[in-house]
Structure 1
Amino acid sequence: MLSPYARLVRAGFLRHSTYRTATLAGLATNTVFGLLRVSVLLAVVAASGSAAGYDAAGVGTFVWLGQGLLAVVVLWGDPELSQRVRSGDVAVDLARPVNLQFTLLATDLGRAGHALLWRFVPPVVFGALVLPLRWPTSPGTLVLFAVTVVLAVALSSTVRFLVELTSFWLLDGRGVRSLYAAVSGVLAGLTVPLAFFPDGVRAAVYATPFPGLLQTPIDVFSERGPTWALVGHQVLWLAGATVMAQVALARATRKLVVQGG
């Protein structure tokens, strides 16, 4: 018999499998933007032969893995929890005999599983047809890459949960969500590889959880950098963010009770 969280993972997968048109539209958009991004970065590489250790194959791998992972990891927040806080429906969620954060995480893992099949694989296959990609030299790298993707999804879900919890105090989370969307794309390595940043700036960025969302899985797949240190960065931030989320949820719950929710 499946646990409630396992059922939620399955429900998350089935829920997103019903939106076939939206999936195809998102896939087409990701592919077009991938072509634009790879064209710009190839021009940068062509000017000097390589940039920060990236050649044509490195750029192709960075762009197409990033475009595929974007739908799997999801950098931008989902307003659903914030809207339920404003409407008061969150009181029903909190009354259920399951943890709200882990409920949303389980659903998000199901969504990510669907996205992995339909939003990750096609762009990477397309990218491999139009450009040479840098493939892992060891099967163990693929296993570790899969681990980093799961960690990235869990970390992204947890951080986004923290962002949405601000609605308990602000009542409208759109401002915080917009700021998070603007910052996360740059610091996660969506815009350009973080290796392009100056050393001091890159060190400051790696003091945040954002590289673990996109750059780390890509670097592990490409076998760039200290692999286990990158995975450790993800694990540490996931553990810390989970603790922060649980503390914030407990305080938000007390605040809701005080307000009469």
Structure 2
Amino acid sequence: MALWQARPGLAGYDLIDAVTFCFITQAFIGPMQLFGGGLTIPERIRSGDIALDLVRPASLQLWSLAEDLGRAAYLFLVRGIPPTVLGALLFDITFPASASAWLAFAASFAAGVLVSFAWRYLVALSVCWLVDDRGVNTLSLVLTTFFSGMLLPLGLLPGLLGDLAAALPWAAMVQVPTDVYLGKTGLLEALAFQGLWAAVLLALGALGTRLIRHKVVIQGG
């Protein structure tokens, strides 16, 4: 608050926008699983149970997505809404002014959850080659925290670093849906960006699933 009081309009936000940004991004932590994890694939790879998953008449990726969407919906209710309500009680925060604005935010939020899943699915699959996922999870945590906008609005990053951060997939998880919430970006532009990264990451996840199927066969299960 002191920063925005000293520099009104910094990064395109006024003081109320900045406070709102803080609480909205905190509300994203659970549903978006911004600290990583949320999928059981690493444990199932280490135990060998992944072999059973791969012979089921269902896509491992879609099965995992269905589970993750249920998790995200639950955490949105118990981890997302309470901090926002608390913020509204303690500070002046802004809310979308119309039903269409709420729907736009809901659509961008859902797209952000999809991008988050697609990224975490790739991280989870890496266990098939790395065995221990602590290193890659730590790297994912650092990248997600810094480049998603959860730590601070990406507009505060200088020059090429800011441009790069805004173009990376992590921005689709937090920065973009928050800007849609605040009315700082249009829905079509936001969904185009989020849809592109969702498609790229999901395609990589489908390829990774095929690769681990062959790896499991080579290892004899």
TM interval, short-chain normalised: over 0.9
The Cα shift of 1:48 comes to 2.3
The Cα shift of 1:76 comes to 2.7
> What are the equivalent positions in structure 2 for 1:221-232 lying under 5 Å apart?
221-232=181-192
Aligned to 2:89: 129
Please list every run of 5 or more consecutive structure 1 residues that lacks an aligned counterpart in the other structure.
Answer: 1-41
The DSSP-based 3-state class of the residue aligned with 2:149 is coil
Query: Would you say the 8 A contact 1:165–1:249 is kept in 2?
Result: yes
Aligned to 2:33: 74
Query: Would you say the 8 A contact 2:109–2:177 is kept in 1?
Result: yes
Query: Would you say the 8 A contact 1:56–1:132 is kept in 2?
Result: no
The Cα shift of 1:134 comes to 2.2
The Cα shift of 1:138 comes to 3.1
Q: In 2, distance between residues paired with 1:56 and 1:206?
A: 22
Q: In 1, distance between residues paired with 2:98 and 2:161?
A: 31
Aligned to 1:234: 194
Query: Would you say the 8 A contact 2:108–2:187 is kept in 1?
Result: no
Aligned to 2:20: 61
Aligned to 1:208: 168
- Runs of 4 or more consecutive aligned structure 1 residues displaced over 4 Å after TM superposition: none
Q: In 2, distance between residues paired with 1:89 and 1:77?
A: 21
Aligned to 1:28: none
Aligned to 2:99: 139
Please list every run of 5 or more consecutive structure 2 residues that lacks an aligned counterpart in the other structure.
Answer: none
Q: In 1, distance between residues paired with 2:151 and 2:192?
A: 24
Aligned to 1:50: 9
The DSSP-based 3-state class of the residue aligned with 2:97 is coil
The Cα shift of 1:203 comes to 1.7
Q: In 2, distance between residues paired with 1:150 and 1:91?
A: 30
Aligned to 1:17: none
Q: Which digits, 9 at most, give the CA deviation of each residue in 1:69-119, with x for residues without a partner?
A: 111111233263112212211111112111111111101111111112111
**Structure 2 counterpart of 1:245, which letter?**
G
Q: In 1, distance between residues paired with 2:159 and 2:177?
A: 20
The Cα shift of 1:255 comes to 1.0
Q: In 2, distance between residues paired with 1:134 and 1:53?
A: 15
The DSSP-based 3-state class of the residue aligned with 1:52 is helix
Aligned to 1:117: 77
Q: In 2, distance between residues paired with 1:122 and 1:96?
A: 38
Q: In 2, distance between residues paired with 1:69 and 1:149?
A: 9
Q: TM-score, normalised by structure 2?
A: 0.94
Q: In 2, distance between residues paired with 1:80 and 1:113?
A: 17
1:230–1:173 CA distance, 2 compared to 1 (3 A):
same
Q: In 1, distance between residues paired with 2:88 and 2:114?
A: 27
Q: Which digits, 9 at most, give the CA deviation of each residue in 1:201-229, with x for residues without a partner?
A: 12211332100111111100000134422
Q: In 1, distance between residues paired with 2:96 and 2:36?
A: 31
More displaced 10-residue stretch of structure 1: 65-74 or 136-145: 136-145
Query: Would you say the 8 A contact 2:29–2:35 is kept in 1?
Result: no
**Structure 1 counterpart of 2:95, which letter?**
W
Q: Check if 1:153 corresponds to 2:113.
A: yes
Q: In 2, distance between residues paired with 1:199 and 1:141?
A: 31
Q: Check if 1:84 corresponds to 2:44.
A: yes
The Cα shift of 1:173 comes to 1.6
Aligned to 2:212: 252
Q: In 1, distance between residues paired with 2:36 and 2:25?
A: 18
Q: In 1, distance between residues paired with 2:99 and 2:166?
A: 27
Q: Check if 1:100 corresponds to 2:64.
A: no
